[in-house]
Structure 1
């Protein structure tokens, strides 16, 4: 009994330490966004002498709204395409991969993309995007959809094979439903937990991604995303920390809201989708 109690104490200490490691930087960022640069450099962990919105006003005067909207467009459209397109392929593969060898080969080739580091393909990818004239928001959206295929397909196929029985297809076929009607009215709604998981994973990735926008969008400042704006903003005002911290807060809020809305579904979706 005593050893179990000691084990619980150690567990709680580790959990509390982990919570502090996550919350302290977030709290410091939020507080610093309401401080002047002088206060940040003079007393980094202290509260502001006078809470001010001047940093946020400066951000909006410097055009952060445009970059926020660029990131919002990129995230919403990319995630919508991922959730609309990839489940259809996953459904076909999950249902036919054991009966037709071509589907199993296709599935294997597609998920092999998970093992290819992005650094290996980033320069050829950037050259290809430039050659096709796709160094814009639409081109980057298609790129996100393409790069999301391996992991997302793996999750959806595992989820369908585990959670969605083939008997539902047979019952719908007996009732006269076609393949697309069956998928749209029965299969797609049944994948809501996985949709939530995929939405959170990919929204976090697209919203916070820096490297792909840097390679594809950096030539035209009007198409910058939030991370790209923050990177270049720090370069212009490297000693002015107040607006930089304010830009981090503006970037955190939308994705934090999305996570809080859908976080109930992410655990069930991940565990179900990772098991065949």
Structure 2
């Protein structure tokens, strides 16, 4: 009698094919970063005749550290503010929306932003940021915080209503904890799986985002992020592919490390936060 694994061999075959589809472009990018442009154009999928770090050395000479630092700073600040501020709003809404219509209305108005296409607000947003003098890193971080509210609030509210019982609030109150103390010492630590999920989702978005930095930061080269640098770098050296591939590898490594660290908590956070 065939086992269940033998019957589902085609499932493993599809998964293996999917893994190859994801890994092959990554491996080609990494290998190409150690090849000369002549080797890339002559034998794109082959191994380099001689492994070289010249592409990376040239990349560092062209100031990649500054743009890497800009992206890192923006990502850390934006994700830090998202995780520090939005869960507080989510906790207040989750605890009161069933009893007070004002909280339910506020919640609906905030998450309705999920359905607003970015193209609709792109031009007004750019003009407003320019008029406020926020066409800089500070303004970009605030924009990321604002745009993260709908989806992140939805996830946190669902997680709190599903996973964090109200009995904990009452037990903490009996022990003499105020609202603020109760939230930071009891409720906030209980949301670690959702924190990990939100961190990965938003870190990936902020680190790889191209359009918002293009609209807000493109006027000043010193404030470029890694995607902006890669876009302009490829334009400057359109016939020299080696340094471009090296810049892609440098941009991939940090977010890949963050994902590997927090990936254990992602699935539990996503499934729990999307129940209600």
Q: Same fold per TM (> 0.5)?
A: yes
CA distance in 1, matches of 2:49, 2:23: 22
CA distance in 2, matches of 1:256, 1:187: 29
The answer to whether structure 1 residue 264 and structure 2 residue 258 are counterparts is no
CA distance in 2, matches of 1:183, 1:3: 49
1:127-166 to 2 correspondences below 5 Å? 127-166=127-166
CA distance in 2, matches of 1:180, 1:12: 49
How far does residue 9 in structure 1 lie from its aligned partner after superposition? Answer: 1.7
TM-score normalised to structure 1 length: 0.98
- SS at 1:109 equivalent: helix
CA distance in 2, matches of 1:3, 1:166: 45
CA distance in 1, matches of 2:7, 2:60: 51
The answer to whether structure 1 residue 49 and structure 2 residue 49 are counterparts is yes
How far does residue 29 in structure 1 lie from its aligned partner after superposition? Answer: 0.1
How far does residue 95 in structure 1 lie from its aligned partner after superposition? Answer: 0.1
* Aligned residues: CA RMSD: 1.1
CA distance in 2, matches of 1:10, 1:239: 43
- SS at 2:8 equivalent: helix
Number of corresponding residues: 276
Aligned position for 2:119 = 119
CA distance in 1, matches of 2:5, 2:190: 42
Change (3 A) 1:261 1:5: closer
How far does residue 120 in structure 1 lie from its aligned partner after superposition? Answer: 1.5
How far does residue 175 in structure 1 lie from its aligned partner after superposition? Answer: 1.1
Instruction: Name stretches of at least 5 consecutive residues in structure 1 with no aligned partner.
Output: none
How far does residue 18 in structure 1 lie from its aligned partner after superposition? Answer: 0.3
CA distance in 2, matches of 1:89, 1:5: 46
Aligned position for 1:70 = 70
CA distance in 2, matches of 1:73, 1:248: 19
Report Cα offsets for 1:223-259 as digits up to 9, x if no partner: 0000000000011000100000000000000000000
Aligned position for 1:29 = 29
How far does residue 121 in structure 1 lie from its aligned partner after superposition? Answer: 1.1
Report Cα offsets for 1:59-88 as digits up to 9, x if no partner: 000000000000000000000000000000
Aligned position for 1:101 = 101
Aligned position for 1:199 = 199
Report Cα offsets for 1:106-162 as digits up to 9, x if no partner: 000000001111111111111111111101011000000000000000000000000
CA distance in 2, matches of 1:198, 1:219: 30
- SS at 1:254 equivalent: helix
TM-score normalised to structure 2 length: 0.98
CA distance in 2, matches of 1:3, 1:185: 49
- SS at 2:159 equivalent: helix
Instruction: Name stretches of at least 5 consecutive residues in structure 2 with no aligned partner.
Output: none
Aligned position for 2:247 = 247
